[in-house]
Amino acid sequence: MQIIKTIKDINSQSIALKKEGKKIGFVPTMGALHAGHISLIRESNRQNDLTVCSIFVNPTQFNDPRDFEKYPVTLESDMQKLIAAKCDILFLPSVHEMYPQGMKNNSPIDFGYMAGTLEGEFRPGHFDGMAQIVEKLLLAVAPHHLYMGQKDYQQAMICKELIKKQKLKIKLVTCPIKREKDGLAMSSRNVRLDRASRRKAVEIVKTLRSIKRAMGRGAKDGGRLEIKDIERKAVERLAAFPEFQVEYVAIRDARTLKPIKKISATTHAVALIAARIGGVRLIDNMLL
């Protein structure tokens, strides 16, 4: 695996590879790699001639500085995992390389409602910083395909919009959520859970499954069951565990993230949850 640390080098390498007719897939990460990331690398390998993975813990997307300080850094083991997964190039830039003029975002892109709701409400500024770095990375790596996980549902939607707004010739491929044996969505933050919190964390996916069942029942009873009742019951279910601080449980239109009024058999919906447990913030979602 080749390691490249500068924008100039990754960009000229990408241009040269494209001239040879090679298809490039790109997996941006903040490191602390787990099987979810590796599934993105494997999907990229399957669809492209080469895979580039970036590891960059982006300071501008952490609205909470303590979260940034605590973000796990496991570079040695990340590199072993990337080599084992047959990643071709690791792009490993420094903060100065990505933000030579400082970190102020002078022209944030307006993603409207999509970025202001849910995560946008609880993590103000997060999506500005995320979109800022993803755009820089996409311009540097200039891939054909970008791979992201469905676990960060809203993030993937915003990146799709970013590609559209900035007229980048890149196709976003969103890959399914990877789960632990008990169903917990894989996340770099899971390593920060103590034993008791780790055992309880599975209640998040169980709540999502209970929403899916309720939506199924709702579709059958002609839409009498109200979405807000399903949401309320799901919040109550999770909040009944005193270990959780629930930030949101929401059932939204899967294409716009706007609230849905009525359940029908053709409703294209997604349920999303954010909750804190043992000082760790976890998110998860499920298409309904």
Kindly state whether residue 142 participates in binding ligand PAF, applying the rule CB under 6 A: no
User: Binding pattern to ligand PAF, positions 168-197, x when CB under 6 A?
Assistant: ------------------------------
Which are the catalytic amino acids?
Answer: 37
Residues 39 to 58 in contact with ligand PAF, rule: CB under 6 A: 58
- Closest to ligand PAF by CB, 39 vs 61, is 61
- Closest to ligand PAF by CB, 117 vs 154, is 154
- Closest to ligand PAF by CB, 31 vs 218, is 31
Rounded to the nearest whole angstrom, what is the least distance from the CB of residue 169 to ligand PAF in the complex?
Answer: 19
Kindly state whether residue 134 participates in binding ligand PAF, applying the rule CB under 6 A: yes
Rounded to the nearest whole angstrom, what is the least distance from the CB of residue 260 to ligand PAF in the complex?
Answer: 26
Q: How far is CA 195 from the centre of its chain?
A: 24
Which H or E run contains 157? helix 153-165
Q: CA 45, CA 85: separation in Å to the nearest integer?
A: 9
Pairing of strands 269-277, 244-253: antiparallel
Rounded to the nearest whole angstrom, what is the least distance from the CB of residue 130 to ligand PAF in the complex?
Answer: 5
Q: Name the segment binding ligand PAF (CB under 6 A); options: 128-136, 139-147, 216-224, 239-247.
A: 128-136
Which one of residues 7, 10, 24, 30 is an interface residue with ligand PAF (CB under 6 A)?
30
Q: CA 143, CA 191: separation in Å to the nearest integer?
A: 31
Which one of residues 28, 36, 93, 218 is an interface residue with ligand PAF (CB under 6 A)?
28
Instruction: Indicate the SS3 state at residue 13.
Output: helix
Question: CA torsion sign, 175 to 181 to 184 to 188?
Answer: negative
Instruction: Name residue 216's amino acid.
Output: G
- Closest to ligand PAF by CB, 28 vs 218, is 28
- Closest to ligand PAF by CB, 58 vs 207, is 58
Kindly state whether residue 152 participates in binding ligand PAF, applying the rule CB under 6 A: yes
Q: CA 72, CA 109: separation in Å to the nearest integer?
A: 29
Kindly state whether residue 25 participates in binding ligand PAF, applying the rule CB under 6 A: no
Q: CA 253, CA 118: separation in Å to the nearest integer?
A: 13
Q: Which of 245, 240, 254, 252 is nearest to 275 (CA)?
A: 245
Which H or E run contains 81? helix 75-84
Q: CA 234, CA 256: separation in Å to the nearest integer?
A: 22
Residues that bind ligand PAF (CB under 6 A): 28-30, 58, 61, 130, 133-134, 152, 155
